[in-house]
Amino acid sequence: MKHAIALATATLAASPAFAHGGAHVHPHGSEMWIALAFAAALAGGALYMWGRK
């Protein structure tokens, strides 16, 4: 699980660079809510999986 959190953090930190290779996957100005939605989904999934044990 520690590796997944580190990978998700690194991916979120690098995601603006991914979007500027020519194709944009987001409208400008939406980076914050996309990151928050991803973090919420990740945390929710982790809590769900933790509760299943």
Please say whether the beta carbons of 12 and 35 come within 8 A: yes
Confidence of residue 27 (pLDDT cuts 50, 70, 90): low
Q: End-to-end CA distance of the chain, in Å?
A: 14
Q: Per the structure, how many domains does the chain have?
A: 1
Q: Which of 41, 39, 46, 36 is CA-nearest to residue 2?
A: 46
Residue 41, Cβ neighbours under 10 Å: how many?
A: 10
pLDDT attached to residue 46: 92
- The residue segments making up the domain with residue 7 are 2-19+26-52
The answer to pTM > 0.75 is no
Share of the chain above pLDDT 90, in %: 17
